Every structure is written in C-alpha cells, then in structure tokens.
Amino acid sequence: MMYVPLRAVPSQTLNVVLAGQNCKINVYQKSVGLFLDLLVDDAAIVTAALCRDRVRIVRDAYLGFVGDLCFADTQGVVDPQYADLGARYQLVYLEASDIT
C-alpha cells in the first residue's frame, strides 16, 4: 500500500510510477462528486470514475493495470471532496497482493 500525494485543489494532474507503470492521474471535482482518470503510458485505463470512500477504482484486472486505487477517509466514512484531499482524504495505491 502506498499513498499518492494530492493537493487540496479542485482539479489536478500528477504523474507517478506505480509498480513500474508510468501513470497519469487526473482528479477533478464536479457538482456531483470527485472524479478520477487513470492513464498508463498515455492509454486510458479508467475515465470519469466517481470516487467513493474505500471503493476500488480500477476493479478489473483485464483493464491492464497492476494493482488498484481507492480513496480513504481518515476521519470517517464520507466520500472525498477536493477541499480535504491530501489530509482527510488520501488516495491509496493497492498492490496486487493487497487486493482480495
């Protein structure tokens, strides 16, 4: 398990290497919730995924991503909002061995 650093801004893009995968992650707030796009080597793995507390984002191995991502509320069980990203709400990378 690894934490992916995020800032408390309504829209951000970051590049990070996860399990040897060159990932581009877009996180953005809309009126109905927080959303995430995940690209590996510029190929879309998931787009416009609604971010929920402790719900895996990728979910399916056939998409070609090793591991998974999820948000975790460190103070309760509320879905993430941008204002508390990186503090209350953490983006977590789960290695394949962590997924049951």
**pTM for this one?**
0.94
Q: What is the mean pLDDT of residues 42-47?
A: 97
Backbone angles phi, psi at 36, to 5 degrees: -140, 140
DSSP H or E run through 33: strand 33-40
Domain ranges of the chain: 2-98
Who has greater pLDDT, 62 or 45? 45
For 5-30, the pLDDT digits (tens) are 999 999 999 999 999 999 999 999 99
Distance CA 29, CA 33 (A): 6
Query: Is the Cβ–Cβ distance between 54 and 77 less than 8 Å?
Result: yes
For 62-91, the pLDDT digits (tens) are 889 999 999 999 999 999 999 999 999 999
